[in-house]
Structure 1
Amino acid sequence: MLREEEKNNEVTPLTDGVSVTVLLPMRNAEQEIMRCLNAIMANDYPSDLVEIVVVDSMSTDASPDIVRGYIKKHSFIRMLVNPKRLPSVSLNMGLDAAGGDVIIRADAGSVMEVDYISRSVKLLRDTEAVNVGGAQTATGVSYLTRAVALATNSSYAIGDARLRNAQKEKWVDGIYLGAWWRETLESLGGFDDHLADDENYDLSFRLRRMRGKAFYSPALRSSYRVRGSLPRVIKTYGGYGIRMARAIKGHPDALRPSHLAPPGLVIMFMISALLFLYSWPAGTIAPGFYLLHLLIASRRITRRRRYQIAMPLVLFTLHLSWGLGFIFGIFRWGLPRRRTKTLLKAMAGRGP
C-alpha cells in the first residue's frame, strides 16, 4: 500500500480537483473486503479527493469489524448499515451520503487496478459518456474455481464475456460496476430500490432511454475471485438468469439473442430426452453436436490438459444453470412477446 504522504499529491490538471466517492455495498465479505479496500486505497488518485462509503447489509460474519478497523485508521472511510439488505438500497444510501463529484461503484469481491479511479475520471471528462467501465477478470484459488474463472473469462461463457475482456474501446449498452457523475445518478433518482439484484440492468436501460451513452475501456481493469463449490456456482448462475428475466420484464428492449440461447439449450435437452424414448439416435443428435461444441471450446479456452478435462462440465453447468434460472424467471414474470417474436424472426434470417 502507498504511504499517505506519497498519495497526497497536489491537484494536477488530470484531476482538476474532481472528488470521488467509491460506493461499496457489502454483505458477509470477510474473505474479500480487505483485498478490496487495500486496492482502492492503493490507487494513484490523490487520497484527499477520495472517500469510501461502505454500506453493510446486516452481515453476520466478521466483515463489519474488519471495516471498523480500517475506519479507525483512515478518516476517509465510512460505513452505513442497510437493514433492508437489498444492494439497490445500499447504493442509494451511499449515494445520499456521498460527497464526491464522481461516483464509482465497487463490489466487496472486486479488486481495482492501481489506476482505476484516475482513468474513470479521465474517461468521464474526455468522452460524452454518462457511464464508464472496463474489463473484468475472474480468478480462482482452487482447481474448480480456476476452471470456472477460465470459462467465465472466455467468449463461451454466459452473457457479456466478450465485453468483459474486449481489447478495444467501444460504446456499449451496459457495463460491469460503473462510474458516473453524481448529478447523472441524482437526475435519474438513483437506483430502483424495489429491485432485488438487477439494479445495474435497470439503471443502464434508464440511461439509454435518456440517450445517455456507456463507454467501455479495456484500460479500466478490475478482478474478482470466484467463490465456492459447484452447488454455489449453480446457484450463482441460476440467480443471474432469474435476474435477467426480471430485468427484461421491466425493459423489453433489453432482450438480446444471447439471452435466448441458454433457455433454448434447456428446451433442446428436454425435446431430445423425449425423442430418445422413441428413437435413441434421433435423441442424441442435438446433444452430440453440443458436446462437440464444448470439446472444441475447451481446447480453445485453455491448452492445459488438467483444465480441459473439467471444462466441458463447467461450461455445461454455466449454460444450464443460467438457462434454468431464466426459464424460472419467465414463468414468474413472463416474456415480452413482441420483442421475442422480433428477435426470433431476425435469428431465423427473415429480418425484424
Structure 2
Amino acid sequence: MMPMDLHIHSTFSDGHNTLEEIVQHAIADGMRVIMLVDHVRRSSDWVAAFSEEIHRLRMRYGKRIAIFSGLEAKFLSTDGDVDITDEQRSHVDFILAAFHRIPLLHHGTEFDLSAWVRTILTGCKTRTFDILAHPTGILHRLSLPVDQSAVTEVCAALKEANRWFEFNARHPIDPETSETVLCSEVGITVASDAHSISEIGRKCGVDQEALMRLVATWCPKFSFVIPVYNEARSIRKVLESVANQVYPLDQIEAICSDGGSTDGSCDVIAKMDNGSLTVRLLDNPQKIAAAGMNLGIREAQGDCIIILGAHTLLEPDFLIQNVRAALVSGADCTGGRHANLSETRSGQTIGLAMSSAFGIGGSHYRYSIIPSFVDTVAYGAYNSRVFKSIGLFDEEMVRNQDDEFNYRLLERGGKFYFDPRIRSQYYARSSLKKLWRQYFLYGCWKVRVMQKHPRQMRLRQFVPPTFVAALIGSSMLAVFFPLGRVLLGLVAGSYVLANLIVSIRTAYKDGWSHLLLLPFAFATLHLSYGLGFLVGLIKFWNRWGDKGTGLK
C-alpha cells in the first residue's frame, strides 16, 4: 500500500465509487495525499460539478488528507494538443495527458517511436499538460520498442518544462525504463489508476524511500511566522484562518514573535494553542519586524515558510494552492492575489486605490489574474532551503525588509511565481493619514534597498519620486519665472487629469460612492512614496557603496 495515490477515478467517468467514498477509504487506509481524476473530453459537461464536489470534500476532510483534483485527457495529435478546453482546465489543479488512442498524424506518416516523442515534446513546449499519464502504455499496446534514448529525451523535456512522469500500476513500466526515468531526475508521480476503492494505493514500482520523498513534496510541512505587536483585535482571526486550511493540520505550525505587546495579544495567542493547531509564542526583545521574522525562521520546522502579517486572512485553500503552484512552476517562492478589506468606507476606497495598477505600479499580486513568474509576491511560501542559501532578513531594514530579501533571492537566480488561485485578504489602512505614513516609510527605505541592490530596481519605481521632484522644482521656478508656472501647470495638470480619469473608471466599476475620496487616495500613495524616496536620498546620502546587512 502506497502512502499517496495521484490517479484515482470516480463515477464522474468510468470509476465504480463516488468521490466521497474514495476519500473516506483513503483516510481509513492512512493515506496522506490523493488526486481525484476523471476522464474528460471537450464535450464533457460535468466538470464544474466535479470541481464543486471536490471543494466540498476538501472542506469536510481536508484537515486529514491532502486532496488534489485532475482531469485525464487524450492527446489529439502529434502537435501535443489534448482533448480539453481552457474553461475545463480552470476547474482543476492538474491536467493529465495520455495516449488513449493513436493521435492524429501528419499526412503520410504512421505512429512510431518518433511520433510518440514528438507528441510529448511539443506538449511540453506548449504546456498542454502537467502530468504524462501511463507514458509507455501505448508503446506496449502497439508492440513498439521502448528505446531508452527516446525515454531519456522525453524525460529531459519534461524536466525542463517542470512536467511530471507518471509511474502507473495499471500500465507498469519495465525495469530498464524505470531506471532510466529515475536516473534522469525528472519529477515523477505514483498512481494506481484505480477504478474501484479496492485498487487504491496499488504499488507501481517505486521504492518506499522515493515514496516518502514524494509525500514530502506533495504534502510539505508549512511554518507560518507572524511578527506581532499589540494585535489583540486581529490576531485571533489570523490564526483561525490558518487553522481553517483544507490541509492536514499536523503539517501546519504557527510561530508568533511578540515585540512586547501590552494589549493582551499574548493571551489571545496562548489560547489558540488548543491542540488543533500548533502555535508557538516567542519573545522579540528587539521589537522590530525583521528580528521577529528571523526568530521565527530559526525555530521553524517546516519545509516551506510563510511570513504572515498580523492583519492578513487566508482563504481555506491557500496552502493547497501554494503546493500546486510550487509543483507546476518549480519556483523558490509562490504567492497569489491579495485583496484589501476594511470595515469603513474610507478604508474600502483606499483598498481600491491599492488594488489598482495606477495606484501601486507593478505589484501583480494586487490585480493580476494571469499566472506568471514575477519579481515579488505577497505572503509568499518560501522553500526553507532559500533561507539556508541566502540567509535571513536584514535587521537593519526598519521597513522594506521583504523587498531587500526578495532582491537578494533574485540576484542568486531565485524565482517567484504568481498564481491568482492563491488568495488572501488584508485589512488596509483606514485613513489617508495612516496611508501617508505607511507609504512615506516605504519610499524612504526603498533608497536603502536600492543602495544594496541597484541592479534589481525597475523604472516604474522611480516614477513617484521623479514626479514629486518635478512638482517641487516647478513650484520653486514658478515663484520667479513665468516659464516655471507653465511647467508647474503641465506637471500638476497632467497628473490631475490622469488621476481623475482612473478614479472615474474605478468608481464606475466598483461604485460611485468611492469617487470623492479616490483621487485623494491615489495622490496620497504617489506623493507620500515619492517624497519619502527623496527624503531617503538625503537620510542615506553617505551610505552609497555600503551594502552591509543587519543580519545576525
**Fold match by TM threshold 0.5:** yes
Deviation of 1:123 after TM superposition, in Å, equals: 2.2
> Once the 2 structures are TM-superposed, how far is the Cα of residue 43 of structure 1 from its aligned partner?
0.8
Q: What's the secondary structure of 1:302's corresponding residue?
A: helix
Residue among 287, 312, 319 paired with 2:526: 319
Unaligned 5+ runs, structure 2:
1-56, 69-214, 546-552
Per-residue deviation, residues 66-125 of structure 1 (Å, max 9, x unmatched):
111212454611111101012221111111111111112211111111111111122223
Q: Give 1:235 deviation, angstroms.
A: 0.5
| Contact 1:237/1:322 (8 A) holds in 2 | yes
The match for 1:274 is: 476
Two-structure CA RMSD over aligned residues (Å): 2.5
Structure 2 CA distance for aligned equivalents of residues 155 and 134 of structure 1: 16
Distance (whole Å) between structure 1 residues aligned to residue 387 and residue 252 of structure 2: 18
Cα drift, residue 132 of structure 1: 0.9
Matched, 1:123 2:325: yes
| 2:246 counterpart SS class | coil
SS in 1 for 2:358: coil
Amino acid at match of 1:290: Y
2:304 to 83, 102, 114: 102
Instruction: Name the structure with the higher helix share.
Output: 1
Larger of the two Rg values belongs to structure: 2
- The 3-state SS of whatever aligns with 2:348 is helix
CA distance, structure 2, for counterparts of residue 132 and residue 37 of structure 1:
20
**One-letter code aligned to 1:299:** I
Query: Which one of 255, 258, 271 corresponds to residue 56 of structure 1?
Result: 258
Are residues 337 and 65 of structure 1, via their aligned partners in 2, closer, same or farther at CA, if it must alter by over 3 Å? closer
Equivalent residue letter for 2:376 = G
Is the alpha carbon distance of 1:122 and 1:235 closer, same or farther for their aligned partners in structure 2, counting shifts above 3 Å? same
Which of 192, 214, 232 lines up with 2:416 in the alignment? 214
Separation in 1, partners of 2:526, 2:64: 48
Quote the sequence identity (%): 26
CA distance in 1, matches of 2:359, 2:310: 23
Alignment of 1:164-313 (within 5 A): 164-277=366-479, 278-279=481-482, 280-303=485-508, 304-313=511-520
Q: Deviations over 1:41-81 (max 9, x none)?
A: 11101111111111111122222221112124546111111
Contact in 2 for aligned 1:198/1:244 (Cα 8 Å): yes
* Secondary structure at the counterpart of residue 332 of structure 2: strand
**TM-fit CA distance, 1:252:** 0.5
- TM-score, with length taken from structure 1: 0.88
Deviation, structure 1 residue 233: 1.3
Cα distance in 1, alignment partners of residues 538 and 278 from structure 2: 46
Q: Aligned AA for 1:9?
A: R
Q: Distance in 1 between matches of 2:385 and 2:490?
A: 55
Runs of 5+ unmatched residues, structure 1: 339-352
Question: Which of the numbers 320, 330, 338 marks the counterpart of 1:136?
Answer: 338
Residue 196 of structure 1 and its aligned partner are, at CA, apart by: 2.1
Q: RCO greater where, 1 or 2, for CA within 8 Å and sep 6 or more?
A: 1
279-288 vs 89-98, which deviates more? 279-288
